[in-house]
Amino acid sequence: MIIGIGTDLLQMGRLRAAYERTQGRLAKRVLGDDEYVVFQQRLGRNYKRGMAYLATRFAAKEAFSKAIGLGMHMPMSWRSLQTLNEPSGKPYTKYSGALLQFMEDKQWHAHVTVTDEQEMVMAFVVVSYGTPIVTTFDPQNYLG
């Protein structure tokens, strides 16, 4: 059963300006630990790729907060939701802290997709109730 749907569209230039204005602190404030590792790797290889990663993760958090119907209020916080990727590239969500307990208690599961094109990024999230879609991927054994 679908609980909620959320979407977010973001101009990368706005996020890039905020990142530069805060001298990079924005990434530490918004990204979870695993996301931050990937961000640093991508940023080190290519600034534009790093900014696209940061922007898609920001948009995913905004879309998720809309899908659960709480906005950016507890138990939702910037760092408590991470959007990571399976080796195939498929994004998945990882929760921590109060958000993890909230999602488990409600038996909710999020399905997320993100995309970027030149100066725009978009995220789309569907939150459902019940048994999640089964995958053979084990996120405990992969960081990337």
- Quick one: how far is CA 51 from the chain centroid? 14
Digit-coded pLDDT (tens) for 70-104: 877 788 889 999 999 999 999 999 999 999 999 99
Mean pLDDT of 56-64: 98
In 3D, which of 108, 17, 124, 8 has the Cα closest to residue 95?
108
Boundaries of domain holding 134: 2-141
Q: What CATH number corresponds to the domain at position 53?
A: 3.90.470.20
How many structural domains is the chain composed of? 1
Quick one: what percent of the chain has pLDDT higher than 90? Answer: 83
Whether this model's pTM surpasses 0.85: yes
Instruction: Inform me whether the pLDDT recorded for 144 exceeds 50.
Output: no
Asked if 95 and 105 count as a contact pair (C-beta separation under 8 A), the reply is: no
In the numeric block, which tokens belong to residue 75? Answer: 């138990």
Segment 24-50 mean pLDDT: 97
